[in-house]
Amino acid sequence: MTTADHFAELATRRSVVVCCGTGGVGKTTAAAAIALEAARRGRNACVVTIDPAKRLANALGIESLSDTPAEIAPAIWDPAGTSTGRLSALMLDTKSTFDRLVTRYAGDEDQSRRILDNRFYRNVSGALGGTQEYMAMEKLHELHAEGGYDLIVVDTPPTRHALDFVDAPARLLRLLDNRVFRLLMMPTRAYLKVASIAVQTFLRTVARVVGRDVIDDVVAFFRAFEGMEAGFRERAAKVQELIADDETAFVLVTTPRRDALDEAEFFAHRLTDHSLSVSALIVNRVHPSFTDTPLTVLHAEAERLAADDPARAERYRALAGLETVARHERAELTRLRERLAHADVVLVPLLAHDVHDLDGLATIADHLFGARPLPPDTASA
């Protein structure tokens, strides 16, 4: 099987693809392009995006944050009408996903009101570190269990801590097991009896810093969650299972710059530490190479033409500049390929424009899935 076949398997066989990588490399673009390709190949695909560029969101029909996927009319993404697939998109709204979880899993309306009206909850539900990652996981779990999709492609937030997304369920489980948390979750009386002096001292100290009100809100918040903990625990465990399952693939997105490639390698190792592996590496925004002519020759040619034909000389200079970048990138890529020998590497060229509509996504998908390869010397580097 060629790399393109391997990569195609992500869109045709897997049921979950997670696109991760550092900020700005093209995760959202790649996720949408993979979902588009799956739909073009006849599957019912959904992309869960996080903070897409406004114009792309527009093109996908998801300009407002929402909690349920919107189906994109086939006429838009399949103008020839040849596919039987379906394509949906969702822009994850952390706060409304969290709210809906509360409403859905609370014991009764009173409990959900107590949580939703809690000041601490209102302040943190959208902003708490890791909440976005965790809610993306909850959404994935929900769509996977109930959405009826063949493939869900998940975009991940730009995070400085590369694995926040993968760690989110485990972190929640750790929080639920935390002693202070367990005490906070106890009904008031039992809590007062059991709360050790250490915990009370801790809370008093915290109260001095952040104010008694905040502590009261926090305690009330955790208490309001009583009975819902088991559900969170169960779903977190299921999500962990789903992530580790063979039907799930991790796609690492990077650019050919050294810092991004180093991060990608680090990320790949961290996934391995979690017994997960990178199925494919997308190197996005690669500068194509147009010639094998040595750079010295291109520069010499520019010098030679400078006096008689300055316009032509300038073109040689520009070509030499481009080739310098392209060759540097290829050298970096060769290094990375040696170090990540097991992952398929797919290259996507730097396009002349941002990718903000379905045509742009189709072009990216064509490159990803081999319909439009880069010039051979670049692709084989």
Chain contacts with Mg ion (rule: CB under 5 A)? 27-28
- Bridge partners (DSSP) of residue 236 are none
State yes or no: residue 27 binds ligand ATP (CB under 6 A). Answer: yes
Candidates 5-13, 189-197, 227-235, 348-356; binding stretch for ligand ATP (CB under 6 A): 348-356
Tell me the C-alpha distance between 340 and 346, whole Å.
Answer: 13
State yes or no: residue 371 binds ligand ATP (CB under 6 A). Answer: no
Q: Which does 256 bind (CB under 5 to 8 A by kind): Mg ion, ligand ATP, none?
A: none
State yes or no: residue 53 binds ligand ATP (CB under 6 A). Answer: yes
Residue type, 358: L
Long-range contacts at 360-363 (CB < 8 A, ≥ 24 apart): 361/29, 361/32, 361/33, 361/36, 361/56, 361/59, 362/33, 362/36, 362/77
Query: Which residue, 36 or 381, has its beta carbon nearer to Mg ion?
Result: 36
Query: Which residue, 28 or 97, has its beta carbon nearer to Mg ion?
Result: 28
Tell me the C-alpha distance between 164 and 162, whole Å.
Answer: 6
> CB–CB of 349/381 below 8 Å?
no
Candidates 1-9, 27-35, 264-272, 370-378; binding stretch for ligand ATP (CB under 6 A): 27-35
Which of residues 45, 268, 348, 358 is near ligand ATP by CB under 6 A?
348
Tell me the C-alpha distance between 253 and 89, whole Å.
Answer: 20
Q: Nearest distance from residue 24's CB to Mg ion, in Å?
A: 8
Which of residues 285, 301, 333, 369 is near ligand ATP by CB under 6 A?
285
State yes or no: residue 65 binds ligand ATP (CB under 6 A). Answer: no
Query: Which residue, 46 or 361, has its beta carbon nearer to ligand ATP?
Result: 361
Tell me the C-alpha distance between 36 and 232, whole Å.
Answer: 32
State yes or no: residue 25 binds ligand ATP (CB under 6 A). Answer: yes
Q: Site residues for ligand ATP, window 137-166 (CB under 6 A)?
A: 158
Q: From the centroid of its chain, how far is CA 207?
A: 37
> CB–CB of 49/32 below 8 Å?
yes
Task: Decide: helix, strand or coil at residue 105.
Answer: helix
Residues that bind ligand ATP (CB under 6 A): 23-29, 51, 53, 158, 284-285, 348, 350-351, 354-356
